[in-house]
Amino acid sequence: MKRLIYADNAATTKLDTDAFEAMKPYLLDEYGNASQPYTFSRAPKRALQEAREMIASCINANPNEIYFTSGGTESDNWAIKASAIAHGKHCSIIASQIEHHAILHACHAVEQMGYSVAYLPVESHGIVQPASLSSIINRETKLVSVMYANNEIGTIEPIRELCSIAHEHGALFHTDAVQAVGHVHVDVKALAIDMLSASAHKFNGPKGIGFLYIKAGTPICPYADGGAQEFGMRAGTENVAAIVAMAIALQKNCSRIDEVTTHLLSLENNLLDALQDAGLDFIRNGSSNHIPGNISLSFKGAQGEMLLHRLDLMGISVSTGSACDSKITQVTHVVEAIQVPNEYRYGTIRISLGYENTVEEIRYIAESIAKILR
Ligand code: PLP
């Protein structure tokens, strides 16, 4: 059987086995609706509260500041749309040019509704410069949203500085931390963040579940109207099994961040050395301060999409930063924003490693890329 190597952990991760085991009782036996007052619902209700406490402690929040959602996309949409609505038509928003589409498309939607949105550029490593925020923020700005870490290139943004500039101008600060939570230490209080989005399937939890951290007292509208779940802010019967699994996965990932980081940084060095030894001409995109294991590479004269398919035939799963649309090859908005030089930009791929990847796999990935490109 062909050996398959998964190297697309920024797209999704494997469900942790403890998280999976923790789900079972709430699917099979303790399936009561957590909102009901009777004895049968006591266990799921307690599990929900414990999960909220566990998740809150992983990011240094209070439990009543954690709102369960269906994942990163919903959390991002909530933060952007409900902040706009809460502040009225004279509200303007600032986001970065390299946000995930969950933020960018939510921003386009509020623009359609009449709100104004400004998009911050980034420098060549994908960093949003605090000075560029200072130069455009004004009294109308009610929300600044800059991602904690970029999904395509892994760059970690200067959140503390950006957040304090937003606050100096009376604006709220939201961060899409979908790629960061569970991978680097995140402390919402130390950074003074007002809202933060996270998604379980990026940190070995199940798909379709996530949360939005909303600092107590933040002016924001509910996301879904209906029942009184999630403190009346996000109606809908809670997916207790998935929430419990998310909490277990997050706690486990947070407890081993340093150990996993060491492993991933060593794999990164192995890969880069092997590609260099093979004589390939490439650029590594992103900043030195990045999400461990997120490696965006642009190979001179190559086609990212061709590379993806050839690697797939060799049993390796990675992502690309460009796609062929009929006759023209288009690069992603992130590759565009960081201005990867023309000879390299179309040959962009993202290899995103997880704690289960091994040195042998890295060697095989490097050999396979070299075989295709030489
Ligand atoms: N934000 C970022 C930075 C992401 O990488 C992703 C997923 O790729 C999302 C948001 C969307 O998260 P979800 O898949 O949970 O909707």
pLDDT in tens, 239-295: 999 999 999 999 999 999 999 999 999 999 999 999 999 999 999 999 999 999 999
Enclosing H/E stretch for 163: helix 159-168
Q: How confident is the model at residue 83 (pLDDT cuts 50, 70, 90)?
A: very high
Looking at residue 90, its pLDDT comes to 81
Mean pLDDT of 44-65: 98
Cα 72 to ligand 1 centroid, rounded to whole Å: 5
Q: Which residue has its alpha carbon closest to ligand 1 atom 13? A: 72
Ligand 1 neighbours (beta carbon < 6 A): 71-73, 76, 100, 102, 147, 151, 176, 178-179, 199, 210
Question: 79 burial class (0-12, 13-18, 19+ CB within 10 angstroms)?
Answer: buried
Q: Which residues are catalytic?
A: 324
For residue 173 the two structure tokens come to: 């600060």
Examine the pLDDT at 2 and tell me if it is beyond 80: no
Tell me the average pLDDT across 79-101: 93
| Nearest protein CA to atom 9 of ligand 1, as residue | 72
Distance between Cα 180 and ligand 1 center (Å)? 11
Q: From the alpha carbon of 149, which atom of ligand 1 is closest? A: 3
Are the CB atoms for 222 and 85 separated by under 8 Å?
A: no
Query: Kind of pairing, strands 92-96 and 116-120?
Result: parallel
The Cα–Cα gap between 83 and 261 comes to 35
In whole angstroms, give the CA distance from residue 15 to residue 62: 26
% of the chain beyond a pLDDT of 90: 95
| Spatial CA neighbour of 211 closest among 18, 35, 303, 76 | 76
Q: Write the pLDDT tens digit of every residue in 308-340.
A: 999 999 999 999 976 666 667 789 999 999 999
Query: What's the confidence (pLDDT) of residue 325?
Result: 62
- Detail the DSSP E strand segments found in 182-338: 195-199, 210-214, 282-285, 294-299, 316-317, 319-320, 322-325, 328-331
Average pLDDT taken over every residue of the chain:
96
Determine the pLDDT at residue 321.
75
Q: What is the pLDDT of residue 191?
A: 98
Closest Cα to atom 14, ligand 1: which residue? 72
**Tell me, what's the pLDDT at 88?**
84
CA angle 266-152-304, nearest 5°? 95
Which residues are bridge partners to 156 per DSSP?
A: 149
- Per-residue pLDDT tens for 170-213? 999 999 999 999 999 999 999 999 999 999 999 999 999 999 99
176 Cα: distance to centroid of ligand 1 (angstroms)? 8
CA of 71 to the centre of ligand 1 (A): 7
Q: For residue 279, how far is its CA from the centre of ligand 1 (angstroms)?
A: 35
Closest CA to 248 of 22, 65, 12, 28: 22
> Tell me, what's the pLDDT at 91?
86
Q: Of 9, 97, 202, which is best to mutate to test ligand 1, by the most ligand atoms within 8 angstroms of its C-beta? A: 202
DSSP string, 183-202: TB---HHHHT-SEEEEEGGG
- pLDDT for the residue numbered 327: 65
Mutate to test the pocket of ligand 1, among 68, 69, 73 (most ligand atoms within 8 A of CB): 73
**CA distances (Å), origin 212, targets 162, 169, 230, 256, 355:** 19, 23, 11, 23, 26
Beta bridge partners of 195: 174, 214
Q: In what order do the strands lie in the sheet with 294-299?
A: 282-285, 294-299, 348-352, 319-320
User: Rounded to whole angstroms, what are the CA distances from 29 to 22, 25, 245, 287?
Assistant: 12, 5, 16, 48
Cα(43) to centroid(ligand 1), Å: 31
In ligand 1, the atom with minimum distance to the C-alpha of 210 is 15
Give 146 Cα–ligand 1 centroid separation in angstroms: 14
Protein residue whose Cα sits closest to atom 12 of ligand 1: 72
Each residue of 119-173: pLDDT tens digit? 999 999 999 999 999 999 999 999 999 999 999 999 999 999 999 999 999 999 9
Closest residue CA from atom 4 of ligand 1: 178
Question: Given the CA of residue 150, which atom of ligand 1 is nearest to it?
Answer: 3
> Distance between CA 7 and CA 138 in Å, rounded?
42
Contacting residues for 330 by C-beta, under 8 A, at least 6 apart:
322, 323, 324
Q: Which atom of ligand 1 is nearest to the CA of 201?
A: 15
